[in-house]
Structure 1
Amino acid sequence: MMTKDQTLQTLLDLIEQVKSADTDDFFALANIANLNPLRDFSESNLTGIDLRSKNMTKADLIEATLVGASLISTNFTEARLISSNLTQANLTDATLTGASLINANLSGAVLVNATLDSANLTGAILTDAKLTYADVRRSILTSADLNGTKLSETNLSYANLKRAHLINADLSGASLYGADLTGADLRGAVLSDTDFVGANVERTRFNEPRWFSRETKRDLTQRGAIFEV
C-alpha cells in the first residue's frame, strides 16, 4: 500500500503528464489521466471544451459545466446531461437522440439542424437558443422554458410541450403535428405557417390572432385554445 506522500507524488506526476502532453484532445488527455471520458466527468468543469464530432454515446455528464463548448456534430445519443450547463454551447448538427437533458441549461445554445428525437428536456432552459431545422420529434419538453427560442422550420411532431413557455418564440414554418401543447404559453410567438394539425391545444394561450385565418382560429378555439386580447 502506498503511503500518503507516495499517493500525492503519483497524483502530481499524473498532473504533470497531462499538462505536458502534446495534445488537447479530450479522449487522449483522459486516457493519460486514467479516466474514462464517458463515465468520469459528471459534475466536471468542461467550459469551452472541444468535442467536435466525438462519440459521446451514453456519456454520463450529469451536472457538468459545458459553457461555450464546441459540440458540433458530437454524438450524444442516450447521454445523461441532467442539470448540465450548456449555455452558449454550439451543438450544430449534434445528435442527442434519446438523451436526458432534464433541467439542463441550454440558454443561448446553437442547435441548428441538431437531432433531439425522443430526448427528455423536462424543465430545461432554452431561452434564446437556436433550434432552426432541428429534429425534436417525440421529445419531452414539459414545463421547458423556450421563451424567445428560434424554432423556425423545426420538427416538433408528437412532442410533449405541456405547460411549456414559448413566449416570443419563433415557430414560423415549424411542425407541431400531433404535439401536446396542453397549458402551453405561446403569447407573442411568431406562428407564420406553423402546423397545428392534430395538436392538443387545450388551454394553450395565444394573443396573436393575425397568424390565423378566421376558420383556423375558430377550429383552435373549439379544440380548447385560449385567445387573449
Structure 2
Amino acid sequence: MADRRNGELAPPTESTVRGEDWYGRELSGDQYTRVEFLDVDMSEITTRNTVFTECAFRNVSFAQAVHTGAGFLNCTFTACRFFETEFTSCKLTGSMFDRCTFTLLKATGGDWSFVGLPGADLRGTTFSELRMREIDLTFARCQKAAFRGVDLSGAWLSKADFTEADLRGSDITALDPLTTTITRAIIDPDQAIVLATALGVRVLPA
C-alpha cells in the first residue's frame, strides 16, 4: 500500500517481531534493518546509538521511551503511541507517521528532515534545536506546540494550525500566512519581517 509521502511505497520488511514485551529494555548500539515490529510494547525502552533502518512499527507503544543518538531511518510508524517520549540528538530522516499519537512528545537536537507528519496531532509537543527541512506538516495540528530554533526550510505547512505555538528562532521562510494558521503564535522580530515579506508588505524605518 502506498502509505508514504508522494505515494512512495514503504520498504518491504524481511522479518517480524510480533506481540513481544520489550518494556523497559535497554538497547545500545543495536542494528535493525527491514524489521516489522507489530503489537510490540516498547514502553519505557531506552535506546542509545541504536539504528533502525527501513523498519515498520505498527501498533507499537513508545510511552515514556528515551532515545539518545538513535536513528530511525526511512521507517514507517502506523498507529503508534508516543506518550512523553523523548528523542535527543536522533535522526529520523525519511520516516513516515500515520495515525500516531504524540502526547507531550519532546525532541531536542538531531535531524527530522524529509519526515512525513501530515495531519498529525502535535498539540503541546516540543521540538527544539533540530533540523526539519522539507518535513510534511500539511494539515498538522500544532496548537500550543513549541518549535524553538528549528530549521523548517522547505517544509510543507499548508493548512497546518500553529495557533499559540512558540516559533521563536525557527526558519519559517516556507510558511505562507495565507494558507497556514498562526493566530497568537509567538515569533521574534526577524520572523515578523519574514511574515511581512510573505504578505507583500515592506518594512521600513519610521
TM-score by length of 1: 0.73
Count of residue correspondences: 185
Q: SS of the residue aligned with 2:163?
A: coil
Q: Decide which structure has greater strand share.
A: 2
CA distance in 2, matches of 1:201, 1:106: 29
Partner of 1:215: 193
| Runs (5+) with no aligned partner, structure 1 | 1-37, 223-229
CA distance in 2, matches of 1:97, 1:141: 15
Contact 2:105/2:126, CA 8 A, preserved across alignment = yes
Q: CA-to-partner distance for each residue in 1:31-51, whole Å, 9 max, x for gaps?
A: xxxxxxx83422322211222
Identity, % of aligned pairs?
21
Partner of 1:29: none
Relative to 1, partners in 2 of residues 1:66 and 1:204: Cα closer, same or farther, differing over 3 Å? same
Query: How much has 1:124 moved relative to structure 2?
Result: 2.3
Query: How much has 1:202 moved relative to structure 2?
Result: 5.3
CA distance in 1, matches of 2:164, 2:83: 19
Determine which structure has more spread, i.e. the larger CA radius of gyration. Answer: 1
Contact 1:123/1:141, CA 8 A, preserved across alignment = no
CA distance in 2, matches of 1:147, 1:51: 29
Contact 1:130/1:150, CA 8 A, preserved across alignment = yes
The answer as to 2:68 corresponding to 1:92 is yes
Query: How much has 1:128 moved relative to structure 2?
Result: 1.4
The higher-RCO structure (CA 8 Å, 6+ apart) is: 2
Partner of 2:23: 47
| Runs (5+) with no aligned partner, structure 2 | 1-13, 201-206
Relative to 1, partners in 2 of residues 1:119 and 1:57: Cα closer, same or farther, differing over 3 Å? same
Partner of 2:150: 174
Of 66, 82, 104, 2:42 maps to: 66
Contact 1:180/1:200, CA 8 A, preserved across alignment = no
Relative to 1, partners in 2 of residues 1:93 and 1:186: Cα closer, same or farther, differing over 3 Å? same
Quote the RMSD (CA, aligned, Å). Answer: 2.0
Matches within 5 A, 1:135-174: 135-174=111-150
Q: CA-to-partner distance for each residue in 1:163-215, whole Å, 9 max, x for gaps?
A: 11212222111011000011111112111111012345653111235515453
TM-score by length of 2: 0.81
